[in-house]
Amino acid sequence: MSNQEPTIVRRQSTRIYVGNVPIGDGAPIAVQSMTNTRTTDVEQTVNQIKALERVGVDLVRISIPTMDAAEAFKLIKQQVSVPLIADIHFDYRIALKVAEYGVDCLRINPGNIGNQRRIQAVVDCAKDHNIPIRIGVNAGSLEKDIQEKYGEPTPKAIVESALRHVEILDNLNFDQFKVSVKASDVFTAIGAYRLLAQQIKQPLHLGITEAGGVRSGAIKSAIGLGMLLAEGIGDTLRISLAADPTEEVKVGFDILKSLRIRSRGINFVACPTCSRQEFDVIGTVNALEQRLEDIITPMDVSIIGCVVNGPGEALSSTMGVAGGHNKSGFYEDGTRIGRIDNDKMIDELEAKIRAKAALLTNRITTKEIV
């Protein structure tokens, strides 16, 4: 593992705020997810948002397809603290209603709202309530004339659609927006984001749409978003998975963690294991990942099965173990501290990691106060 500082230079963009979360202009890349409960089921939706909060979500989007859902939104908003984005298609009255109920961002495409009077009403409302808009263009639902012009949803076609919506907001002197240009094909999405990044100054919301189940979706998203993020493109992201939404948040943070863009929680470094392993590496990592999900303090922990790579990795981690016969070498902050019995490995490491996290959190807090 390298301790080199990342060399990613973020694309310059304007800054918007979704509630108290800054987006763009160098702000930490915000991780979003979306509820998949029925919005009118207030209790279930609140429970899901709270579960998302527990895994560190920064922003939550909720679909508001009807006025009944807008009324449910009012109750949901009162019970959670994470900023909420309302996903609205076509019906501008729903946008006005949720703005009244305290929504933090509207995901609505101005070109789909209808006549100029309705568009003006939504933009005026966003201005009055000081809330941003997300323009969300999807390769699968481009305007008919654009589809006919390009024949297929190419990056250029997607960006042309996005710029139509952008132009509507520009003409109304509204610049508090971010834009997404999603596609389920990785190269199409990358091409569209690269193109759009050069054409507007607003923040970009990244996503590979309908990416798939946990494994395939995480891989597609890691490749697509990883390439863009490494180029400095992207200010907020959502990993779309056909899975529990908390998985989306975990994968989102793991992608940011891998690129050393934003750390949250433990970055486990583990060897793939072989016959040299002196303890059950895979079982240990899986158990610790599960037990330590609540730890948000960033730290690197290496779990390595033998002395071939163990000491090297452990010395460059916050904490690490290098497998040995019956007992394994234990390292902290670049020094070998002692040994841990292999049959007590999981419990002992959990205790040590928790103690270290508490210490580091305390140090961070003290530093902030000073």
The annotation places the binding site for [4Fe-4S] cluster at: 271, 274, 306, 313
CB of 320 to ligand SF4, least distance (A): 12
CB of 225 to ligand SF4, least distance (A): 29
Nearest to ligand SF4 of 65, 312 (CB atom): 312
CB of 187 to ligand SF4, least distance (A): 34
CB of 263 to ligand SF4, least distance (A): 24
- Binding residues, by number, are 271, 274, 306, 313
Are 67 and 42 in contact by the 8 Å Cβ rule? The answer is: no
The residue type at 326: N
Nearest to ligand SF4 of 273, 297 (CB atom): 273
Are 206 and 180 in contact by the 8 Å Cβ rule? The answer is: yes
CB of 327 to ligand SF4, least distance (A): 16
Nearest to ligand SF4 of 27, 307 (CB atom): 307
Give the integer Cα–Cα distance in Å for 288 and 294. 11
CB of 292 to ligand SF4, least distance (A): 21
CB of 277 to ligand SF4, least distance (A): 4
Nearest to ligand SF4 of 153, 311 (CB atom): 311
Nearest to ligand SF4 of 2, 198 (CB atom): 2
> CB-based contacts of 235: which residues, under 8 Å, 6+ apart?
13, 23, 24, 27, 29, 30, 178, 203, 204, 205
The residues binding ligand SF4 (CB under 6 A) are: 271-274, 276-277, 304-306, 308-309
Nearest to ligand SF4 of 74, 339 (CB atom): 339
Nearest to ligand SF4 of 224, 305 (CB atom): 305
